[in-house]
Amino acid sequence: MFRQLHERGCFLIPNPWDPGSARALAGLGFPALATTSSGFAWSQGRPDNGVSKEEALAHFRGISSSVEIPVNGDFEGGFAVAPEAVAANVGAAVATGVAGLSIEDSTGNPADPLFEYSLSVERVRAARSAIDKSGTGVLLTARSEGFIVGRPDLAETIRRLTAYAQAGADCLYAPGIRTRDQITSVVGAVAPKPVNVLVGSDFSTVAELAALGVRRISVGGALARTAWTAFLEAAREIAQQGRFTGLGRAASFADIDGQFRKA
């Protein structure tokens, strides 16, 4: 089912951060979900990329077992640098029940934020090999992070995504691209393979992105940020003003509790 969603049209794949948010999104009729490394890390009181491989794997198991629709796992950089280590970790990740898995090329080092080109390609090829050996059919998404780590070079992003597609990635993803020219350039460069676009703010619509040839739309940590915004605004009002108007804007207990009584 997950692979079929990527074959035509455009679909939404929102990002829950725990089983409750996953079940709520599934209840709204979305056809698939994707984990968010940032949303999950914040729920654990950590910064993005602040959880361990074992915690990420347990998170994948928890989310994928909580819903009946496909789940894509945000596996960050594979929790390793060397291709053979990436392959070993991917082998563990595909056994968690996820239908898809993403691997990114960011290093976490602001001075040198992207893995060297050839190493990045080999890491994707290693992930592909591990999935093939597993026989799970998990869909591999390869991400190039230049636009969100201070290297917004469209030509280099396309060079990397094209190579990742040739190395076996099923879906390509460059978080941070936003303009019509950026999106159409990426879509055209990797065609016929599908492209995921991240929407973290109000810069486009589903119809507009679909018209540009985008196959998959995710929101990353944006839903988690939205939830944290409401939480912090209400909590700050209580702490600083001794007022509770923020609580009055919340959904009712019955509305929220009812979501899970249906499941």
The pLDDT assigned to 31 comes to 98
Q: What is the pTM of this model?
A: 0.96
Instruction: Return d(Cα 263, Cα 170) in angstroms, integer.
Output: 32
- Residue 44 confidence (pLDDT) above 90: yes
CA distance 143 to 120: 10
> What confidence tens digit (pLDDT) does each residue in 212-263 have?
999 999 999 999 999 999 999 999 999 999 999 999 999 999 999 998 987 5
The distance between the two most distant Cα atoms of the chain, rounded to a whole number of Å, is 59
The residues, ordered by sequence, that sit 6+ positions from 1 with a Cβ below 8 Å of its Cβ are 31, 69, 70, 99
Dist CA 55 CA 132 (whole Å)? 24
Domains of the chain: 2-222 (3.20.20.60)
Q: What is the pLDDT of residues 175-199, one digit of tens each?
A: 999 999 999 999 999 999 999 999 9
The Cα–Cα gap between 26 and 66 comes to: 10
Q: Residue 123 pLDDT > 60, yes or no? A: yes
Please choose, from the candidates 187, 116, 185, the residue with its C-alpha nearest in 3D space to the C-alpha of residue 154: 185
